């Protein structure tokens, strides 16, 4: 079962090209991360953006320029150990690829930022169903009308992920995820998507739509795809990010990051 793989085993499958799909619900118990790689000359301003917006962009690791082995996953290689990457040039997406070894440049700084996939196992353990896992889909993600605090050249609207739940489970999910402050923590909004500027839950900006059953409400968490929008808000010559839902799986355990 893929959910029982450890992080290192999953990364080996990804590196060999045997795993190419989103990472929600796999290697359960291991912390997953968003990835942003950008030129060193822009790294401080991007770091400042993350510091000013810790809810969508919680920092797990920042590497030295040109380095690709993170401290949170020794022997990993950020150029090959994610299932899918996005390449941006001058602020525009050029393509998606499965390996960036030949694209990554020696002056690039890599950021790993917490991902809500990391608390999905805790939700399941608490008896809270996770619809995107049940349906075998990538999580639904939406660009909102809320704006993040800018830093230098970087700015972005807040991006959120959505999981539908009964009101009772939404309360339980809030209690569970509050402990995971480095993987987005508690929800930022419950119900009423129009208050976030979201007009149609069936048409996510990233990921896939999921069924919302009668009596359920949408529950929204801050999402690390915010970091992609921020990194590409300035026309940098090259930015590399994970493709939404295709995360880096670290050796950190979920419980390593809990507050209690």
pLDDT in tens, 149-189: 999 999 999 999 999 999 999 999 999 999 988 889 999 99
The answer to whether residues 185 and 92 belong to one domain is no
Instruction: Give the per-residue pLDDT at 111.
Output: 99
**11 with 108, same domain?**
yes
Cβ-contact 164, 221 below 8 angstroms = no
Give the pLDDT score at 258. Answer: 74
**Encoded tokens for 258:** 């809990």
Residues 85 and 109 in one domain: yes
The number of distinct structural domains making up the chain is 2
Q: CATH number for the domain including 9?
A: 3.40.1640.10
Q: Is the pLDDT of residue 118 over 90?
A: no
* CA 50, chain centre distance (Å): 13
Reported as a single tens digit per residue, the pLDDT across 11-45 is 999 999 999 999 988 888 899 999 999 999 999 99
Number of Cα atoms under 13 Å in the Cβ half of residue 67: 13
pLDDT at 260 over 60: no
Are both 221 and 247 inside the same structural domain? Answer: no
Stretch among 1-5, 137-141, 157-161, 251-255 having the lowest mean pLDDT: 1-5
Percentage of the chain modeled with pLDDT above 90? 85
**80 occurs within a structural domain:** yes
Does 140 lie in the same domain as 199?
yes
Does the residue 259 lie in any domain? no
One domain, residues 13 and 24: yes
This prediction has a pTM of: 0.92
The secondary structure element, H or E, covering residue 37 is strand 30-39
Q: Token pair 């508690």 is at which residue? A: 186
Q: How far apart are the first and last CA of the chain?
A: 30
pLDDT (0 to 100) of residue 2: 61
- Please indicate, yes or no, whether residues 123 and 216 belong to a single structural domain of this protein: yes
pLDDT, residue 1, reads 46
Question: Domain containing 157 — which CATH number?
Answer: 3.30.2040.10
> What is the domain range of residue 62?
2-116+234-254
Give the pLDDT score at 24: 85
Instruction: Kindly state the DSSP code that residue 52 receives in the 8-state scheme.
Output: H
Q: Which two tokens stand for residue 22?
A: 């989103």
Average pLDDT of 225-232? 96
260 in a structural domain: no
Residues 51 and 83 in one domain: yes
Instruction: Provide CB contacts within 8 A for 113, sequence distance 6+.
Output: 33, 34, 35, 36, 50, 57, 58, 59, 60, 224, 227
| Contact criterion met (CB below 8 Å) for 179 and 254 | no
Is 130 in the same domain as 214?
A: yes
């Amino acid at each position: 079962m893929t959910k029982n793989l450890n992080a290192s085993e999953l990364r080996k499958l990804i590196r060999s090209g045997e795993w190419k799909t989103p990472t929600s619900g796999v290697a359960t118990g291991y912390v997953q991360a968003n990835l942003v790689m950008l030129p060193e000359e822009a790294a401080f301003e991007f770091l400042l953006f993350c510091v000013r917006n810790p809810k969508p962009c919680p920092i797990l690791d920042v590497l030295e320029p040109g380095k690709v082995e993170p401290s949170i996953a020794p022997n990993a290689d950020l150029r090959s150990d994610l299932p899918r990457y996005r390449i941006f040039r001058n602020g525009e997406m050029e393509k998606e690829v499965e390996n960036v070894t030949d694209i990554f440049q020696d002056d690039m700084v890599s950021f790993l930022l917490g991902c809500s996939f990391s608390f999905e196992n805790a939700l399941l353990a608490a008896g809270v169903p996770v619809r995107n896992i049940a349906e075998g889909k990538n999580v639904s993600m939406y660009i909102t009308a809320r704006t993040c605090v800018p830093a230098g050249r970087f700015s972005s609207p807040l991006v959120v992920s959505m999981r539908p739940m009964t009101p009772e489970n939404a309360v339980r999910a809030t209690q569970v995820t509050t402990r995971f402050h480095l993987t987005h923590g508690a929800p930022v909004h419950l119900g009423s998507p129009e208050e976030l500027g979201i007009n149609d839950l069936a048409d996510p900006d990233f990921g896939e739509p999921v069924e919302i059953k009668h009596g359920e409400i949408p529950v929204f968490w801050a999402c690390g795809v915010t970091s992609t929008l921020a990194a590409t808000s300035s026309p940098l010559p090259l930015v590399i990010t994970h493709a939404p839902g295709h995360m880096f799986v670290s050796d950190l355990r979920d419980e390593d990051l809990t507050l209690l």
